[in-house]
């Protein structure tokens, strides 16, 4: 698989390039990444914020967010502009407000606004 790199501070992060025919695999990778980042955030919030361990885990969490954002950007460039949690019937099967929600989201529709019952922007449909 081909790759490209993104920079985060002084670090370089390698990103796999997914071809269009592997879009479902990319979507699954992003769903899994959202879950892992939410779980990691829960763990980080329980740590001593003055410890070196907290600092290291927090930095790893930020790096993972940057990487996941790059994959989400790639997904939108491949043409996927909707929620990652839409089934084959076109129904949304996971709430935006569940747990911490998604760390990254390719959707051009602000589903979370619908769930809150408010509208803020031009993507509020």
Structure confidence at residue 114 (pLDDT)? 86
CB within 8 A of 41, min separation 6: which ones?
Answer: 61, 100
Find the Cα–Cα–Cα–Cα dihedral 110, 114, 117, 123, rounded to 10°: 30
Domain boundaries, the chain: 3-116
When pLDDT is averaged across residues 14-25 and rounded to a whole number, the result is: 97
Considering the entire predicted model, what is its pTM? 0.87
Check whether 125 has a pLDDT greater than 70. Answer: no
pLDDT tens digits for range 74-102: 999 999 999 999 988 989 999 888 777 88
């Amino acid at each position: 698989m081909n790759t490209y790199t993104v920079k985060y501070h002084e670090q370089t992060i390698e990103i796999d390039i997914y071809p269009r025919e592997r879009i479902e695999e990319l979507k699954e990778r992003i769903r899994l990444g959202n879950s892992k980042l939410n779980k990691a955030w829960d763990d980080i919030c329980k740590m001593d914020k003055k410890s070196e361990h907290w600092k290291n885990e927090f930095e790893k969490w930020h790096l993972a967010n940057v990487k996941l954002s790059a994959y989400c950007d790639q997904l939108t460039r491949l043409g996927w502009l909707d929620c990652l949690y839409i089934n084959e019937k076109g129904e949304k099967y996971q709430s935006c407000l569940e747990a911490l929600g998604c760390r990254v989201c390719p959707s051009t529709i602000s589903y979370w606004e619908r769930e809150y019952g408010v509208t803020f922007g031009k993507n509020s449909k």
